Amino acid sequence: MVETQKENIPAATARRPRWGRILAWTGLFALLVLVFFGLLRAQKGQFKIGERAPNFTLTSFDGQTYDLADLRGKVVVMNLWASWCKPCEQEAADLEAAWRHYQPRGDVVFLGVAWTDTDKKSLEYLDRFDITYPNGPDLGTRIAQAYRITGVPETYVIDREGVLSYVKFSPFLSVDEIIAVVDPVLEK
Amino acid sequence: MMRTVRHRTGRKIGWVAVLLSGAMALLYLSTVSAQESTPRPPVSDDQVNAIAKQMYCPVCENTPLDVCPTQACIEWRELIREMLAEGKTETEIRQYFVSRFGDRVLAAPPARGLNWLVYVIPPVAILAGVLILFSALRAWRQAPSVNPASKEPSTQATTTENDEYTQRLEEELRKL
């Protein structure tokens, strides 16, 4: 009698609709997948030399638009900075001097990206250091996110093929240091 | 003679009228210009912080903008102050910051895309928890009536074990 009852219970349970459980487990699994990919993305760290540089569009303070994809065939020096960043001030004049050094060649583009900065302060900064190469705000911090920056200043040198050739996570200390980085990329 | 006097009196009244209207026009203009030059009331720190506390600067994560001491956040608060002084509303200011610095600046993410999960998961998890608890409680209450026969031997066994244990305990106590 007892055995008959025991046999009947699983049969009754099996007949019950299990859609709720299936849905709950599917939802939980989907959530775990999302968390997994989120963590994977967070763990990626900085870009490595030799990787293709993520594309970006920069609208400068004077309204010009620069798309990295359109700059193929040129070496791009992209510097992320902020007016409130003291180390950025250290390299500002050197970057401008390096830009003036390469400008006549026409195959080197310097782009300044103001990160989490206010326009007023950014423009004051550019005036203060007499910076003439194109600079613009990082709208929506999209460039910073694409390059997974850790702070400012950071400088990325991208070769003619759009591949990352050099990364600097601290300020340049002299014009010569910048030239020593850009020249080999030009000769590639 | 009378005509000359009347004529002079009329001219005087005319001059007085012209002077009076001139004076009134000057008074009106000075009032208008005074109103125009009245500065807007200064924006208080509380007004700035009421908006800033709903935002986070990407430079110093997990620190609300109203209490963050970094230079970047000081400049952002100054920008909020300037925008409030220009007569911008809270919504306009927040929209500006989102367009410039992304959704990350908001303390509460906008309910779109994957952000929906933030709003959906907690109530769904609580509801699921309540349902599981309810069904578990119901199962526990029903368990003895579903299969009382299976419970009986174990109950008897426990009682027997308890008796033996009590007896041994009593014996040990007597020895003492």
- Residues B126-145 have pLDDT tens digits of 998 998 899 899 999 887 65
Mean pLDDT of chain A: 91
> Does residue A38 share a domain with residue A103?
no
Each residue of B76-118: pLDDT tens digit? 999 999 999 999 999 999 999 999 999 989 998 888 888 888 8
Distances from the Cα of B159 to the Cαs of A77, B112, B121, B128, B144, in angstroms?
A: 84, 61, 47, 38, 17
In a domain, A49, yes or no: no
Q: Total structural domains in chain A?
A: 2
- Tell me the Ramachandran region of residue B87: left when phi exceeds 0, alpha when psi lies from -120 to 50, beta otherwise: left
In a domain, A48, yes or no: no
Chain A residues within an 8 Å CB radius of B99: 139-140
Which of A59, A55, A91 has the alpha carbon at shortest distance from A178?
A91
Does the beta-carbon distance from A5 to B147 stay under 8 Å? yes
In a domain, A69, yes or no: yes
Under 8 Å between Cβ of B28 and B35: no
Q: For residue A102, what are the domain limits?
A: 57-187
> Does residue A38 share a domain with residue A72?
no
When mean pLDDT is compared across A1-5, A101-105, B58-62, B144-148, the lowest value belongs to: A1-5
> Does residue A33 share a domain with residue A71?
no
Q: Judge whether B97 is closer than 8 Å to chain A, CB to CB.
A: no
In a domain, A51, yes or no: no
Chain A residues within an 8 Å CB radius of B69: none
Which of A118, A109, A107, A110 has the alpha carbon at shortest distance from A91?
A110
Pairing of strands A154-158, A75-81: antiparallel
In a domain, A152, yes or no: yes
Q: Judge whether B70 is closer than 8 Å to chain A, CB to CB.
A: yes
In this complex, the residue of B101, B117, B147 whose CB is nearest that of residue A116 is: B101
Does the beta-carbon distance from B101 to A141 stay under 8 Å? yes
Does the beta-carbon distance from A140 to B100 stay under 8 Å? yes
Q: Which amino acid is at A12?
A: A
> Does residue A68 share a domain with residue A31?
no
> Does residue A73 share a domain with residue A124?
yes
> Does residue A136 share a domain with residue A100?
yes
- Which H or E run contains A112? strand A108-114
pLDDT for res B3: 52
pLDDT for res A1: 46
CA distance B149 to chain A (A): 7
Percent of chain A with pLDDT over 90: 76
> Does residue A75 share a domain with residue A166?
yes
> Does residue A11 share a domain with residue A100?
no
- Name the class of domain B45-110: mainly alpha
